[in-house]
Structure 1
Amino acid sequence: MTTLHDHIQMLRAELTSFHLSKRERRQIERELKEALAQQTRIESHRPPPPH
Structure 2
Amino acid sequence: MTTLHDQIQMLRAELTSFHLSRRERRQIERELNEALARCATERHDETAPA
What is the TM-score normalised by the length of structure 1?
Answer: 0.90
What is residue 5 of structure 1 aligned with on the other side? Answer: 5
Alignment pair present for 1:32 and 2:32: yes
Give the count of matched residue pairs.
Answer: 48
Q: Amino acid of the residue matched to residue 39 of structure 2? A: Q
Greater fraction helix = 2
Alpha-carbon distance between aligned partners in 2 of 1:2 and 1:33, rounded to the nearest angstrom: 17
Could you list the per-position Cα deviations for residues 1-51 of structure 1 after superposition, in whole angstroms to 9, with x for gaps in the alignment?
000000000000000000000000000000000000000000001137xxx
Q: Which runs of 4+ in 1 moved over 4 A?
A: none
Unaligned runs of 5+ in 2: none
Unaligned runs of 5+ in 1: none
What is the TM-score normalised by the length of structure 2?
Answer: 0.92
